[in-house]
Structure 1
Amino acid sequence: MVKKISKLNRFSRPAFFPVLFLAPLSAIAAGNYYDARNDAMGGTGVASSTYGTAVLANPALMTKAQPEDDVSIILPAAGAQLSDKKKLIDKVDDLTDSVDRYQDIADQDIFSLIADYPRVQAAAGDLASQLRAIKGGKAYATAGAAVAVTVPNSVLPFAFVTKAYGTAHVTADVSQGDIDYLQGIADGSTIPLPGDQDRLTSAALGRGAIVYDYGIAVAHEFNIAGHPVSVGVTPKLQKTYLYNYSASVYNYDKSDFTNGRYKNTNTGFNLDAGLASDFGDHWTLGLSAQNLISRDIDTREVNGYKDTYQITPVVTPGVSYHTEKLTAALDVDATPTKRFKSVGDNQYAGVGAEYRLLSWLQLRAGYRADLKSNDTNVVTAGFGISPYNKVHLDLAGMKGDDNTWGAVAQLNFTF
């Protein structure tokens, strides 16, 4: 146990990030995508994305390019968000010294234990306190990245997109029996014996998933009963990497996180689609449907522990109001976002706005809420700089309760 807990420090911090960042590719993503402009506006975009980022949120909006618009390249969009309500990562950092001190003292012969008994009591009491602090602790992270090239035209605008979205979950599985045993030593009611630390069973568990999409999007505007309606589709190859890390206390090694024993992969086909239509000069309605083909993928079973990652359709209607200076948007998921079966679903609603203060400076703000209350609601904000409308740098930040924060950066070129 002690050896395992001592490495919780090394587990929790990389546990989000070996899962996400030691994967076969260097680009990762979350949610279903990150877009700095959309995320700054409360995660909206179904009816308000620009033609160059439409391939991420709603491919139908690629038809909204103007005749003077050029090829758009996102290189790249990248972001991350972390929720750590009980500050598990910081507390596990604090645990390290206590574990090392207890392990050094407890791993002695019986005569040394008796001679050092006051130190053993102090070390056991400190470790029991640290374990109480992390008991039930959970931390959750997402990370994201995308690269896209959009070619606008009046007949069949198209785009090439590579994106990934990933999640990682870390749980401190602390046994009350471990706490009672250590507290008993501290109180003098339990006498430790050499090797007794082997009886401790607390552990840390980690699950991670990364989904890579490689797609080609096309869109076209149709005239239906005298009204223009844009339709877009993105057929894509989808490759999924799942990580299920569960190790005995003396076998934990963070370098094993991506070991074949804990990882499995799955490759399949999927499809995104979208609709968009303008009403008057200032209103746009949109509908996005991502991952229209459902897939359930099981992790490897490790030490009796197994989970299932779910890819299901996420349908989101949206509306935007736009003038020369202002864009305001509202998106509401009509279906939940599912991930691991052991983790609750999310269903988001977002509202946000962009004000174009200058021709090259845009200010943005918004709010995103989880209608199922399984994720933290966040306030969002950001800005964009676009000198000569050729280079676009967009930055966004998110902040919520439960020690939740996130950031997105995006670089876009138009030629």
Structure 2
Amino acid sequence: MVFFSTQLQALPYSVMDSYSFSMGGTGVASGTRGNAIFYNPALLAASEMPQNYSLHAPVLGARFYDRNKVLEELDKYQYLGLEANFDEALTAYSTDVGALQDVADATSSLGQQLLTLAGDPMQREYFGAVVLGIPHQRLGISLTLNTRVVGGAEVNVVQNDLDELQRILTATREVNLSQAEAFRSNDLESRLLGRGLVISEVGLALAQDMDVFGHEISVGVTPKYRQVTSFDYASELNSADFEIDLGEKDHSAFDVDIGAAKHYGNGWSTGVAIKNLIGQEYNTVRGNTIKIGPQVRLGAAHSTPYTRVAVDLDVNESRSTGFDSNSRYIAVGAELNVFDMTRVRIGYRHNMSDTNTSIATFGMGFDVYGAELDLAAGANEDELGYSAQLGFEF
């Protein structure tokens, strides 16, 4: 843990399955058959886990963070045709000095909107998975096929653009703007920058109970093959949008997750897991490097027939793939079992590195004759996330 306690560039630990998402993103000591492969593979062999096969398909989730309404303001920029208005005003002024005020108005509007676009980046995350779980004390097994999109975008407003627009605006006020003004919208250097990863994985988790100095401990390992497509681009503002198929570059690699869990027989359990133990670096088409490094998380949970509470803690700080802020989470969650058919869950995920991305979560689970439906949502003032999954036990 000391070795991994430095800052690493990595994906946020939590995935977006409905069960854990509704409980704040906890799962290292409280995971289920459907998500143990994502949080701690050792839980597949844990002695308190019901010995049932399970299939969770589909598992879907999405997250949106846009504190400064980047895409909304960009849509406004394009809808108002600010660049076209600026060019048209200058063209009209080249033959009619009476159009000077139109140049001033168009220049002012364009400069003000550029300043509005400069701010915090927006972030996007999407998740989809199929999970087959076969828990057993001797050898628990789980297989997953999943795809995750993590990335973001920001408007890079170049100071030279603002300086040129201010120069033109000042010249209009002093009535000394040349009618042969050469600066046009196609000279703007400001761009929408987008960057992130599309990650598709095939993972096989194996877990077993072991006797360690007289204590029964569950250990697990998840070797996985990862196909990655990085995207990295710079688009002109007049036609830009957040895309995941621009500036693509394909990569592939093997990696592994490991974990351990201990059940104490009194409702308490603890766990530790390390994801992406090997780690990888991906060089994008624009020369940026995105790293997925090891992530260490500790967890503890307490369960009764009617309740469950859990807490998880990231040991190391991570930086995500696009323009996201740093993340180091402490997550707490609770579940209430109502008549074995309905479960109500609440949670809170606090980002110790950036409190603006801390969220409260809520969810419900329904279990009818082995069929499970789980729904979850999380939000703060600037962020919204939601998840849904369908599962079967047999």
The answer to whether the Cα contact below 8 Å between 1:307 and 1:340 also exists between their aligned partners in 2 is: no
1:289 Cα shift? 1.1
1:208 Cα shift? 1.4
Correspondence for 2:6 = none
- Answer yes or no: is 1:386 the counterpart of 2:367: yes
More strand by share: 2
The answer to whether the Cα contact below 8 Å between 1:346 and 1:374 also exists between their aligned partners in 2 is: no
- Answer yes or no: is 1:408 the counterpart of 2:391: no
1:154 Cα shift? 4.0
The answer to whether the Cα contact below 8 Å between 1:386 and 1:392 also exists between their aligned partners in 2 is: yes
Choose the corresponding residue for 2:224, options 204, 221, 236.
236
Unaligned runs of at least 5 residues, structure 1: 1-28
Correspondence for 1:213 = 201
Choose the corresponding residue for 1:196, options 183, 201, 207.
183
Partner SS, residue 216 of structure 1: strand
Partner SS, residue 386 of structure 1: strand
Q: Deviations over 1:243-268 (max 9, x none)?
A: 11024678x66699625xx2212111
Aligned mates of 1:364, 1:246 — CA distance in 2: 41
The answer to whether the Cα contact below 8 Å between 2:365 and 2:374 also exists between their aligned partners in 1 is: yes
Instruction: Kindly report the root-mean-square deviation, in angstroms, between the aligned alpha carbons of the 2 structures.
Output: 2.7
Query: Structure 1 residues 68 and 244 mapped into 2: Cα distance closer, same or farther (>3 Å)?
Result: closer
Correspondence for 2:7 = none
Correspondence for 1:322 = 303
Query: Structure 1 residues 73 and 195 mapped into 2: Cα distance closer, same or farther (>3 Å)?
Result: farther
Partner SS, residue 327 of structure 1: strand
Aligned mates of 1:354, 1:255 — CA distance in 2: 36
- Answer yes or no: is 1:55 the counterpart of 2:40: no
Percent identical: 28
- Answer yes or no: is 1:79 the counterpart of 2:61: yes
Query: Structure 1 residues 205 and 341 mapped into 2: Cα distance closer, same or farther (>3 Å)?
Result: closer
Partner SS, residue 245 of structure 2: coil
Correspondence for 2:117 = 134
Aligned mates of 2:199, 2:222 — CA distance in 1: 16
Q: Deviations over 1:393-413 (max 9, x none)?
A: 111111124x11211111111
Correspondence for 1:366 = 347
Q: Deviations over 1:66-109 (max 9, x none)?
A: 79643211112111212212111222222221425515624636
Partner amino acid, structure 2, of 1:174: V
Partner SS, residue 300 of structure 1: coil
The answer to whether the Cα contact below 8 Å between 2:56 and 2:391 also exists between their aligned partners in 1 is: yes
1:275 Cα shift? 0.7
The answer to whether the Cα contact below 8 Å between 1:148 and 1:160 also exists between their aligned partners in 2 is: yes
- When normalised by structure 1's length, the TM-score is 0.83
Matches within 5 A, 1:5-404: 31=13, 33-64=15-46, 69-96=51-78, 97-99=80-82, 102-103=85-86, 105-106=88-89, 108=91, 110-112=93-95, 114-186=97-169, 188-189=172-173, 191=177, 193=180, 195-197=182-184, 198-247=186-235, 258-259=245-246, 262-301=247-286, 306-340=287-321, 344-373=325-354, 376-388=357-369, 390-401=370-381, 403-404=382-383
Aligned mates of 1:143, 1:91 — CA distance in 2: 23
Aligned mates of 1:266, 1:32 — CA distance in 2: 23
Query: Structure 1 residues 199 and 52 mapped into 2: Cα distance closer, same or farther (>3 Å)?
Result: closer
Aligned mates of 2:245, 2:193 — CA distance in 1: 14
Q: Which has the higher contact order (CA 8 A, sep 6+)?
A: 2
Partner amino acid, structure 1, of 2:64: L
Aligned mates of 1:257, 1:322 — CA distance in 2: 41
Partner SS, residue 42 of structure 2: helix
Unaligned runs of at least 5 residues, structure 2: 1-10
1:339 Cα shift? 3.1
Aligned mates of 2:327, 2:242 — CA distance in 1: 31
Partner SS, residue 34 of structure 1: coil
1:136 Cα shift? 2.8
